[in-house]
Structure 1
Amino acid sequence: MKNKPSLPLSYRLAVASRVLAAVVGGYLLASLASVCMSLWLPLSRADAVISGMLSSFVFYLLAVIWCFACRTATRAWFGVLVPSAVLATLAGLAYWMTRP
């Protein structure tokens, strides 16, 4: 029985990094998108929260697709973390604007 050549460690680490970016980064992006939509949508509080929660599934899906469509794992991380930082800034801005 012949030994099959195994994949290099760098490739395995790149795939693991993409999986981590998709799971953790996608969850972060989806939750921040949900928070921002519930704070910024001009709807009643309940409707804005439901809309934000339902749209978070779309954001999570797009983040996972993005992470595995990128050429490098670094680009996948930046593609998830930069929009997350923008959404966190928008959520903080909404918090400070509504604070008494």
Structure 2
Amino acid sequence: MNKAILSKGGGILLRAVIAIPGGYAVAALAACCLALWLPLEPADAVATGQMASFAVFALVALTSFAVRDLGRLLAGFMAGIVLLGGGVAITLWANLP
């Protein structure tokens, strides 16, 4: 990556972008996955997924500032987005009429 981006201010800004909107995206996808995959009544599955999404958001936010290597952070973040997004897409595609 560019050294200007990895400077102290740029690194913190990038980590904040991953933590706040990125954490929201991962938490929303995790909530969708749990709502679709939990073997509960639909209302209970949605409520459980939403409650669990708060823990996922906190985990992503803490991890974004705890990981030392920015490349590993981005790789892990993108892997989570791809896996959760793919899981939601496959589940919805499999349930089409």
TM-score (norm 2): 0.89
Higher-Rg member (1/2):
1
Cα offset for 1:79?
2.0
CA distance in 2, matches of 1:12, 1:75: 19
Partner Cα distance (2:16, 2:69) in 1: 12
Q: Report matched runs for 1:1-100 at 5 Å.
A: 10-100=7-97
AA aligned to 2:73 is A
| Structure 1 residue 48: Cα displacement | 0.4
Matched-pair contact (CA < 8 Å) for 1:34–1:52: yes
Q: TM-score, normalised by structure 1?
A: 0.86
How far apart in 2 are the matches of 1:47 and 1:82?
28
- Structure 2 residue runs without a partner (length 5+): 1-5
Q: Is the 8 A contact 1:25 1:77 kept in 2?
A: no
Contact 1:27 1:60 in 2 (8 A): yes
Paired residue total: 92
1:22 Cα deviation from its structure 2 partner: 0.4
Over 4 Å off, 4+ runs: none
Q: What percentage of residue pairs aligned between the two structures are identical?
A: 35
Root-mean-square deviation (CA, aligned residues, Å) is 1.2
